[in-house]
Amino acid sequence: MSLSPSVFSVAYKSTKNGWFQQNVFFSLSRDWTRGRGGGKPGGCSGTGSPSLVGDQRGIIERLNAGEVVIGDGGFVFALEKRGYVKAGPWTPEVTVTHPDAVRQLHREFLRAGANVMQAYTFYASDDKLENRACDLAKQVASEGDALAAAGVCQTPSYLSCKSEADVKAIFKKQLDVFMKRNVDFLIAEYFEHVEEAVWAVEVLKTSGKPVAASMCIGPEGDMHGVPAGECAVRLVKAGAQIVGVNCHFDPMTSVKAVKLMKEGVEKAGLKAHFMVQPLAYHVPDSTYLGFTELPEFPFALEPRMVTRWDVHKYAREAYKAGIRYIGGCCGFEPYHIRAVAEELAAERGIIPPASEKHGTWCAGLEMHTKPWVRYWENLLHASGLSLGVSLRAMLTCCSTKRSPLPRK
């Protein structure tokens, strides 16, 4: 269903906190469920994807046009909770052993509004795993208005102080698989050290495909103390067209880090697009290593989970900061991504298929007399359990000090 942005602009002016104007979303929800604009319910294809299916533009063309690109959520944690991935290694054997589980999660993110299906290649070093992961992402991407991406992440070889050539050889081996599967663009993500991230970008750039680079750092910079702004500058100079952060830190902290990256890139006279894919957990007490050093990691993080309302705020802040590739990482479930899509529906001109079953804002008033809109807008929820023991006093035995590697 295609929606006119002008219809939304008037409604947004009267919204005190930037969240979606109730009566507008109510009417859109009714249009969606009554099948206006596409011939099928919600203007969707038969698979439940948006009516924009068939859009052949690449990631850079979409971002250059000022569009909002919504990434998917966290496969590692979601599949671990569902019994398909082992915590610790976090490796993606599930793409071979239970491909239907991966395919279904891709589809849930697609229905929630994501238009990037990122292959589950996290710490994958086996050709069979990488091939299957790319095939699954491409298959689901083809069912809607989505692009398929594949990525590399930091390596044990770098942490073992192997040479630049050795580390790049690992990235090149992964790239060869991605090229054979012909994904739409490439991502270098989850890097704690900008030096290694630059090496990854330099290898991926040889493909001729668009390259995004995302570091798992906060506003304080990488593990060597390189400021976030300088990290971004180095990545752009290496050839990344999209830069940002993912994982390790909560949504608002991650937005702050990308703001610093954006300032650094602009100050250097460079141009790039920006992305953010944070944790779905509140981690105000973390330091350089983010949530990985918390005593609750990885099995007791649920009390820190962000709500869908937190995600509405995050999406709006990211958009206001000039970030146009907005998604999630560990902990982000499909309903979180749906919240991003709903918050930015005015800018995107579409609401996701998954909103058909979501009584957001005023929709509930059709069946109830209580003012649920005001209730949810004014709710003071206890996100993160800020008075919890783990937030009031960190266990020193579980706190990891910053210890830079003895690299050049």
Q: Known binding site for Zn(2+): residues?
A: 247, 329-330
- Cα dihedral value 77, 83, 85, 89, nearest 10: 90
Indicate the annotated binding residues.
247, 329-330
- CB distance 170 to 201 below 8 Å: no
The conformation of residue 285, written as its DSSP 8-state character, comes to T
- In the three-class reduction of DSSP (H, G, I as helix; E, B as strand; rest coil), residue 72 is classed as coil
Q: How far apart are CA 152 and CA 123, in angstroms?
A: 7
Question: Which residue's entry shows tokens 């630059």?
Answer: 198
Q: Which of 249, 316, 309 is nearest to 279 (CA)?
A: 249
Q: How far apart are CA 387 and CA 390, in angstroms?
A: 8
Q: Which of 78, 88, 163, 159 is nearest to 118 (CA)?
A: 78
Q: Which of 355, 323, 367 is nearest to 24 (CA)?
A: 355
- CB distance 345 to 29 below 8 Å: no
Q: Give φ, ψ of 180 to 5 degrees.
A: -65, -35
The secondary structure of 191-242, three-state, reads: ECCHHHHHHHHHHHHCCCCCEEEEECCECCECCCCCCHHHHHHHHHHHCCCE
